[in-house]
Amino acid sequence: MSNPSVLKNGLTLALIAGVCSGLVAVTYAFTEDKIEDNRKAFLEQKLKPALSGLFFEGDVTESVVTLKAPHGLPGKDDALIYRLYASGEPVAALFIVTARNGYSGPIRILLGVDISGVVTGLRILEHSETPGLGDKIDEDKSDWVQQFAGRSLEDPAIDGWQIRNDGGEFDQLTGASITPRAVIQAVRETLVYFAENKEQVFAMPGDSAQ
Ligand SMILES: Cc1cc2nc3c(=O)[nH]c(=O)nc-3n(C[C@H](O)[C@H](O)[C@H](O)COP(=O)(O)O)c2cc1C
């Protein structure tokens, strides 16, 4: 025969567990929208520095498309493209792609390009490069990343999209050529992709439409 106090304790515990689960579910339901708003605001803050001087309407994150590799853009990770508009017309695209050949592995970059192919900004989102050497690609460590805004495939021409040591027009980092080489290659490949696929970039259905 079962012991009544064991049964009572079991029922009390089950009741407490049920009430707690209910509370968690209710709290989640009430905060879900807020969490989503905060997530979006955080992402917007992260993306905006690559859009310097650009006028666009709506939120940066409104029209994003995620491409699975192989996608023709640099890297084997998913590539993300945020499309930006003004008066219903495309004005720019923001690319999140991966530079493959960093010194310590892949480097995730954010590149803004206006509709005419001019870079509106470059930022480094994730990397594992060495502190004091390759990590100077990070805007908090040096202004290396600032040299790309305003440049395009015409300025410099394609051969110039290399570090100065390799005959190009972009600064390297002292004692660390591998990292900037990897980033510049990814930027160049992304610009070429945009130039060759501009119409398609803005015609692809966004993630929320899929
Ligand atoms: C411990 C260690 C860490 C290094 N980290 C980097 C790095 O993060 N990025 C980089 O480009 N080179 C790094 N290097 C240097 C490269 O091996 C290579 O020598 C350098 O990129 C070549 O640049 P240079 O042609 O300007 O001399 C590192 C070297 C050592 C020994």
Number of domains into which the chain is organized: 1
By residue count, the chain amounts to 210
The pLDDT assigned to 139 comes to 95
Domain that residue 194 falls in: 49-209
The pLDDT assigned to 145 comes to 97
Q: Is 131 exposed, middle or buried (0-12, 13-18, 19+ CB in 10 A)?
A: exposed
- Gap from CA of 11 to ligand 1 centroid (Å): 64
Does ligand 1 have an atom closer than 6 angstroms to the CB of 141? no
The pLDDT assigned to 160 comes to 98
The pLDDT assigned to 2 comes to 59
Give the Cβ contact number of residue 103 at 10 Å.
18
String of DSSP letters for 151-170? -BTTBS-GGGSSBGGGTSSB
Q: Which residue CA neighbors atom 21 of ligand 1 most closely?
A: 176
Q: Is residue 12 part of a domain?
A: no
Q: Is residue 181 part of a domain?
A: yes
Q: Is residue 189 part of a domain?
A: yes
Q: Is residue 198 part of a domain?
A: yes
Q: Is residue 18 part of a domain?
A: no
Q: Is residue 28 part of a domain?
A: no
Q: Is residue 72 part of a domain?
A: yes
Question: Does the model's pTM come out above 0.75?
Answer: yes
The stretches in the chain having pLDDT less than 50 are none
* Cα–Cα dist 173/194, whole Å: 27
The pLDDT assigned to 85 comes to 97
Does ligand 1 have an atom closer than 6 angstroms to the CB of 101? no
Q: Is residue 160 part of a domain?
A: yes
